[in-house]
Structure 1
Amino acid sequence: MADDSSRKRKVRGRKIRSDRKPKEGRRAKKELARTASSVGERNGDSPLADPEAIAPDPFVETDAVTSLRDRITGWLDADQPVHLIGPTGCGKTALALSAAARRGRPVVWLNGDEAVDTAALVGAHAGGERYEEHDRFVSGVDKKTQIVRERWVDNPLSVAVREGATLVYNEFSRSDPAAHNVLLSVFEEGVLERPGKRGEDRSIDVHPEFRAIFTSNDVEYAGVHEQQDALLDRFVGVHVEYYDDETEREIVRTHVDLSEDDVETIVDATRSLREDLDIVVGTRAAITAAKGVSVFDGENGTDDDELLTDVFTDVLSPKIAGEGDGIDDLRSKISETI
């Protein structure tokens, strides 16, 4: 190994030393460009997820579930965005994630709410990055140049479009319809325009493997916006209802360790309450009630009508919070049904 003195002899003279500065400046520019382009992928912050990582577990695959998922994946194969519509707690999100995972492509998740706007979908400027370039080519002269580059951060839609990922947009109808205008050109012209972005890369050509799955509650739910017809006309709408009793029992069984008889009793009670009450009683309520029974199980288990009434009252009471004496009325109706 050469000693330090031999290395120093190879770099001598002012011209050789000063020539390094422009090279360092160019390297700094390249590093800045590389860093800006990979923003959002550092520190595990990329919206891209491995399909195996997002696949719901556990996930029940009865004939009813498999048939519905095959419809979704079939439309995706036909390059059609799919809009899953149905009541809360019926399994739309798990179904969407399962269908997305089946494609084997990276998945981008987005949750809709009132705060979602166009920037939250496509990206925005996130401050600037600054560095200095020193030029000492002329002896005794130090020329200093400050370079500032605006840093653009791509958000979920831009990443999904560019990378050919499957976008799962949960609670799509809870976002302001104005935020979704950018989707029109994505599904019609195959181009995503990024408002606020300047330069030649203001638009992104849609990757041929890009697909989208949207989930929404029915329009009568609070906080749900009616989306523009021009956009919905480009979707395929798949309505998701509550599953049959066999599937609901299997779903509860995979989430909670209870006897077959207890699971059957809870699911039967859930389905009866769904018919008798004016509030939504989804499959999620059955799972939660089963967890309650497993914790508060007395001597008679699900044969104890009072225990079942207490559990279902606790599970469903948040849906009528703030309605005065509504809890007493709810408990009375649940008791009658059970």
Structure 2
Amino acid sequence: MADDTSRKRKVRGRKIRSDRSQKEGRRAKKELARTASNARERNGDTPLADPADITPEPFVETDAVESIRDRITGWLEADQPVHLIGPTGCGKTALALSAAAERGRPVVWLNGDEAVDTAALVGAHAGGERYTEDDRFVSGVSKQTEIVRERWVDNPLSVAVREGATLVYNEFSRSDPAAHNVLLSVFEEGVLERPGKRGEDRTIEVHPEFRAIVTSNDAEYAGVHRQQDALLDRFVGVHVDYYDEQTERDVVEAHVDLPEDDIETIVGTTRALRDDLEIVVGTRAAITAAKGLTVFDGRGGDEDGQFEDELLVDVFTDVLAPKVAEAGVEDIEELRSTIAETV
């Protein structure tokens, strides 16, 4: 009889140890996940940004700017991903961030380049996590088991679709088109697949408030990849060009402290060079030139006190020279000559 009782206790004891051990393991895993998540938040290691923090400063809101931003936000309200296309330096990124901030939802920023692959978008295993199960349910016996498991870290796209954020994907066309295959199911089926992730949570159901804005330079720019038609068909394309002259003046004035006449000269020169040169002369070039002119004492001695022509030539040559520097010194001299003729 005693033997039977002893046998039953042992059987029951093994079941209790097994059940409690599993519970302790699950508890440890949850605590580990919470700790890791809290640590990421404390360290700022999260791609989510408050919309108020990403609004470009300064950002000029003229009628021309508001008109195109309203088109972007309108398409986002219609649940359409938006592809902003236009020349470099025309303000696509600022527009995208401003439109994203207008939604009032968290924003996730991503910058495209050759190194972006599927893992950079959806996440990957990032080392291992260790925790210890300590079994002390039998008197006088202590058993410790160290468990190592792979730790998965979500990247910007996964976070954006899960949290209902606005994804701003800058320089979208500089990334390899193969990396963007995961976007097809996001836009079509409302599901994100995470290749490499195992288990039931391999997919994420797209949050109904998720939206995407991507920006690209025109197709003829160096380093730009042609994206697959199946994906481009799911975007609406909004072409962004250089603004009218008054808007460009307002943009430059927001960045530098110069008299109105000086800004008029800088913007006028920029627009003339845009017509005369084969390279891209964007609004950004006007802003850079204006910043340079604020630190050089090169005003003429006449009554209007305008910048000397030679100084304007020097500054615009410095600003635009990187676009032809790889071609050689002769091309820089030719650039300077063209700028001098324009000025």
With normalisation by structure 1, the TM-score equals 0.91
Structure 2 residue identity aligned to 1:327: I
Residue 136 (structure 1) shift:
2.0
- Matched residue, 1:10: none
| CA RMSD between the two structures | 1.6
- Matched residue, 1:222: 222
- Matched residue, 2:339: 334
| C-alpha spacing 1:183/1:94, structure 2 compared with 1 (3 Å) | same
Measured in 2, the distance between the counterparts of 1:254 and 1:206 equals 39
| C-alpha spacing 1:227/1:26, structure 2 compared with 1 (3 Å) | closer
SS at match of 1:322: helix
Alignment of 1:317 with 2:296, yes or no, is: no
Structure 2 residue identity aligned to 1:195: P
- Matched residue, 1:130: 130
Q: Please tell me whether the aligned partners of residues 100 and 168 of structure 2 are also in contact (alpha carbons under 8 angstroms).
A: yes
Alignment of 1:238 with 2:246, yes or no, is: no
Measured in 2, the distance between the counterparts of 1:287 and 1:153 equals 39
SS at match of 2:220: coil
Q: Please tell me whether the aligned partners of residues 123 and 158 of structure 2 are also in contact (alpha carbons under 8 angstroms).
A: yes
- Matched residue, 1:11: none
Structure 2 residue identity aligned to 1:97: L
Measured in 1, the distance between the counterparts of 2:28 and 2:167 equals 35
Residue 25 (structure 1) shift:
5.3
Residue 39 (structure 1) shift:
7.1
- Matched residue, 2:8: none
Q: Deviations over 1:195-236 (max 9, x none)?
A: 000111000000000000000000100000000000000000
Residue 30 (structure 1) shift:
2.3
Task: Give the unaligned 5+ runs of structure 1.
Answer: 1-17
SS at match of 1:223: coil
- Matched residue, 1:121: 121
Measured in 1, the distance between the counterparts of 2:145 and 2:76 equals 51
Superposed, which structure 2 residues align to 1:96-245 within 5 Å?
Answer: 96-245=96-245
Alignment of 1:308 with 2:306, yes or no, is: no
Q: Please tell me whether the aligned partners of residues 40 and 47 of structure 1 are also in contact (alpha carbons under 8 angstroms).
A: no
Residue 128 (structure 1) shift:
1.0
Q: Please tell me whether the aligned partners of residues 192 and 204 of structure 1 are also in contact (alpha carbons under 8 angstroms).
A: yes
- Matched residue, 1:268: 268
SS at match of 1:44: coil
Residue 133 (structure 1) shift:
1.2
Measured in 1, the distance between the counterparts of 2:164 and 2:72 equals 18
Residue 38 (structure 1) shift:
5.8
Q: Please tell me whether the aligned partners of residues 55 and 101 of structure 1 are also in contact (alpha carbons under 8 angstroms).
A: yes
Measured in 2, the distance between the counterparts of 1:105 and 1:322 equals 43
Residue 265 (structure 1) shift:
0.4
SS at match of 2:158: helix
SS at match of 1:125: strand
Structure 2 residue identity aligned to 1:335: A
Q: Please tell me whether the aligned partners of residues 302 and 308 of structure 1 are also in contact (alpha carbons under 8 angstroms).
A: no
Larger CA deviation: 235-244 vs 126-135: 126-135
Structure 1 residue identity aligned to 2:311: L
Identical-pair percentage: 82
Residue 86 (structure 1) shift:
0.3
Q: Deviations over 1:146-173 (max 9, x none)?
A: 2222110000000000000000000000
Residue 40 (structure 1) shift:
4.3
SS at match of 1:196: coil
Q: Please tell me whether the aligned partners of residues 135 and 144 of structure 2 are also in contact (alpha carbons under 8 angstroms).
A: yes
Q: Please tell me whether the aligned partners of residues 36 and 152 of structure 1 are also in contact (alpha carbons under 8 angstroms).
A: no
Measured in 1, the distance between the counterparts of 2:336 and 2:89 equals 21
Q: Please tell me whether the aligned partners of residues 90 and 243 of structure 2 are also in contact (alpha carbons under 8 angstroms).
A: yes
Q: Deviations over 1:263-310 (max 9, x none)?
A: 000000000000000100000000001011111132325441101000
Residue 249 (structure 1) shift:
0.1
SS at match of 2:327: coil
Larger CA deviation: 27-36 vs 163-172: 27-36
